[in-house]
Structure 1
Amino acid sequence: MAVETAVELKNKGNEAFKNRDWPTAIEYYTKAINADDKEPAFYTNRAQAHIKLEAYGYAIADATSALDLNPDFVKAYYRRAVANTAILRHADAIHDWKIVVKKSPADKVARTQYDACQKLVKRDAFLKAIEVSDAPSAAEGLDLDSMVIEEGYDGVRLKDEMTQEFIDDMIERFKVGKKLHRKYVFQIILKVKELVYNEATMVETHVEPSQKITVCGDTHGQYFDLLEIFRLNGFPSPTHHYLFNGDFVDRGSWSTEIALLLYSYKWLYPSGFFLNRGNHETDDMNRMYGFEGECKAKYSERVFKLFSESFSALPLATLIGDKYLVLHGGLFSDDAVSLDDIRKLNRHAQRQPGQSGLMMEMLWTDPQTAPGRGPSKRGVGMQFGPDVTKRFCEKNGLEAVIRSHEVRMEGYEVEHDGKCITVFSAPKYCDSTENKGAYINIEADYKLQFHKFDAVPHPDIKPMAYAQNGMMSMMGM
């Protein structure tokens, strides 16, 4: 009887999966496992739903559970390989890809992934070997003054200051697939790199009467959905500030367009337009999830290197009105960490976040419903419970922590007794999740106003079109 019930629950999970409702699918697969914990397929099904939600640590655990039940279950090796590849553990992934290729020699996708993984392991070793801590900037030797804007260039000209006219023209150019002149691309990145480098690690701002600030979560290269936020909510202006909370790039195939538009607004409104760094404003993620490939395809490798330098200069958090700490990932493994520790953190001493420390935790951690702290469902960082959030907010005089970093089916979620808020601004994420997007408006009364919105149509270019390792097909996107 339990077996029949379990199969019924698994089928309901499959139905939810088919409808791209990954959280509901996970709920049903979990119930199926509770009814019959000896069926490896239940674990691999749940692993695939976890992969869709980027809970790669959970996916690895489920695939391993399936293999404990059946060491010959190819699908479990496949799922675990996918999850390890996704969190850049190529050496672990290669072991499982090798087994999949051996057991399923006709599987061309697995063979491609195995070959790609071998190349990535070699490339990682090469990059580590040539790494120089104080490498010269990609701007060295770049002579903007000698770059000529050809007469045939049909866009608005940019001089020494950003203008609304230039931005309006840029928005329309990007809609129809046109690019900016490379001189302007270099100008924008270099100017914004300088601006954000000189900002504090935790920017502190207030909302004055007759002003408002909009907090947006991940946009992930979904340019047309970013324009929908501006259409619904109003464009940035001297009285309408914006904060974009990381993960502007990767996955979506208009990441250069988003980065250049956000950077142009930062240049136009340096004290009223804010950018926090996310875990995807990092080199290793950009290599895996498409931004590096997109920069090279649309502009040049030098453009990617300059973007990389500017990403490592971005602030890691923004404090709004001494009430809301906004950062991409979440809280810390140590209760002793305070806002002053964030203020004192020298982010310029460490360009990439690494595997531990405050910067990594600010970019990677996630909330959990259970008290205390737990292992990361992603396989990177950790998770923090409602008690951790409560203590942090009380110690630092905060009303709440606002973070992004995770898909929420309604675009946002209020957790931890109202003290932890997730906002995610990429609706129909990767064209494969039926989630809404959201943004938060905050006016001078500091009340949070939540707004949800739906995805809008975009040209027929698939997500991660510029990723160079077949991640799309591997993850079933």
Structure 2
Amino acid sequence: MATENSNVSKAEEFKLLANKAFGARKYAQAIELYTKAIELNSQNAVYLANRAFAHLRREEYGSAIQDATEAIEVDPKYSKGYYRRGTAHLAMGKFKEALKDFQQVKKLCPNDPDATKKLKECEKAVMKLKFEEAIAVPESLRHSVAESIDFHTIDVEPQYSGARIEGDVVTLDFVKKMMDDFKNQKFLHKRYAFQIVLQTRDILRALPSLVDINVPNGKHFTVCGDVHGQYYDLVNIFELNGLPSEDNPYLFNGDFVDRGSFSLEVILTLFALKCMSPSALYLARGNHESKNMNKIYGFEGEVRSKLNETFVELFAEVFCCLPLAHVINEKVFVVHGGLFSVDGVKLSDIRAIDRFCEPPEEGLMCELLWSDPQPLPGRGPSKRGVGLSFGADVTKRFLQENNLDLVVRSHEVKDEGYEIDHDGKLITVFSAPNYCDQMGNKGAFIRFEAPDLKPNIITFSAVAHPNVKPMAYANNFLQLFS
């Protein structure tokens, strides 16, 4: 009995420390401390729901659902269990499952105005989804929106004073003027935006799903991770490391858009640089270059607000043309998410993926975009609820079987902007510092020098940006939960 009481009070101490860490936005530390509390007292639904909340903050929606479900099993009348699980379902775009959870919250807290409000938003989202499903055109009958656009017929008003493309060639002068306009929160004319996106589509469509990059001896190559609509931090990367050029090439490793509220400026800048010099800038698809994510996390709303509906469809189409992975000098494998649920995947299997579609929920393409490394060997369920977690042994085997030296991936916020795992064989690089204006993390990029391709990691801090909050264009219901 004494031991039991001592465990309960020790667990409570860990919970208080965890709450403190959570308040300081140290979510990984909070998760560790809540875990200690749960190990001492597994029958406390509050600890589980609190840990679910910390997982939500780290975008680990699969783990949040698991914890919230356990909290509900411990105490079926604990409304926060349903609330946390509903929030995680919403963040994953699983509106119907979220609706069931918020109906339960409302049942348990009938007079809570907050629960009522969230239930209403959830009902709206489900109604919208049903409507979209009802009017959706089958894949086989869909026409390419890109092929219906002729940007040459769009007039540019005489009073337009922004950047202009003369003829068909995107020049460095144009890119610099456009970037300056963006810094001053001016928009690019629709004609030129169409021209950039359509030219990028043509370039990307001609590429394989796995792109080989050759860096000559004595030359360098820079890899950046997620930028997530943080335009002013993107400009800072170029100030620190130079603009992309034949002699200063870059690879941006997915998740260019969403969350940050300057996603359009980011994507048009990257696409314009790609048009200016295709071998100066390489682009890989991330899990956020997809319709489902863009609908929820802000890019769709931003494009609609700054341009129009046609651009929403056009970007969705062009994102399906982005390559899925890159290999530098036959030695460094670069991918947004990670590795696979099966052994024996060869580079030729990745090359053979038909990528011209929305990302599926399982299989090689899904895993390339969504998976994460784990400290334990073997494979485990994904903390995100999509893809999987893979250990050092999986990384080592993949590298050996494909005669590679290193995996570079992005996809996860890291305090220092990067993290080296799996006995030095895997590096995570993340290039959105102070992510969402609240994580306090640094950003990083990696410079490789040929021939030895030793990674030189450069970190940097966030810079000021105009007072437009992250997620400003995100779906209503998501703003309620952020």
TM-score range, shorter chain: over 0.9
Amino acid at match of 1:233: N
CA contact (8 A) 1:210 1:239 kept: no
Deviates more, 1:275-284 or 1:437-446: 437-446
Matching residue within 162, 167, 170 for 1:155: 162
Paired residue for 1:370?
A: 376
Out of 182, 196, 216, the position equivalent to 1:174 is 182
Amino acid at match of 1:389: T
State the AA in 2 paired with 1:451. Answer: I
Normalising by structure 1, we get a TM-score of 0.96
Per the alignment, residue 93 of structure 1 pairs with: 98
**Partner of 1:48 in structure 2?**
53
Find out whether 1:146 has 2:153 as its counterpart: yes
> Counterparts in 2 of 1:35-434, with a 5 A limit?
35-129=40-134, 130-134=136-140, 135-159=142-166, 160-348=168-356, 351-434=357-440
TM-score (norm 2): 0.95
Q: Which has the higher contact order (CA 8 A, sep 6+)?
A: 1
- Residue pair 1:113, 1:469 contacting (<8 A) in 2 also: no
CA distance in 1, matches of 2:93, 2:105: 19
SS in 2 for 1:410: coil
Unaligned runs of 5+ in 1: none
Unpaired runs of at least 5, structure 2: 1-5
What is the distance in 1 between the residues matched to 2:241 and 2:24?
Answer: 29
Which 10-residue stretch deviates more, 4-13 or 310-319?
4-13
Q: Please state whether the residue corresponding to 2:43 is helix, strand or coil.
A: coil
Q: Deviations over 1:14-67 (max 9, x none)?
A: 111111111111111111112222221111111111001111111111111111
RMSD, matched Cα: 1.4
Question: Once the 2 structures are TM-superposed, how far is the Cα of residue 454 of structure 1 from its aligned partner?
Answer: 1.1
How far apart, CA to CA, are the structure 1 residues paired with 2:353 and 2:69? 38
Q: Which moved more, 1:142-151 or 1:267-276?
A: 142-151
Tell whether the 8 Å contact from 2:344 to 2:401 is kept in structure 1 after alignment: no
Give 1:127 shift: 3.3
Amino acid of the structure 2 residue aligned with 1:79? R
Read off the aligned partner of 1:266 and give its amino acid letter: K
* C-alpha distance after superposition, 1:106-154 (max 9, x if no partner): 4444333322322333333343442321411223442322211111111
- Counterpart secondary structure, 2:216: coil
Q: Distance in 1 between matches of 2:160 and 2:219?
A: 38
Contact 1:425 1:438 in 2 (8 A): yes
Residue in 2 aligned with 1:458?
465
* AA matched with 1:424: F
Structure 1 CA distance for aligned equivalents of residues 332 and 390 of structure 2: 18
Identical columns (%)? 48
Residues 17 and 238 of structure 1: CA distance in aligned 2, closer, same or farther (over 3 Å) = same
Q: Distance in 2 between matches of 1:198 and 1:9?
A: 55
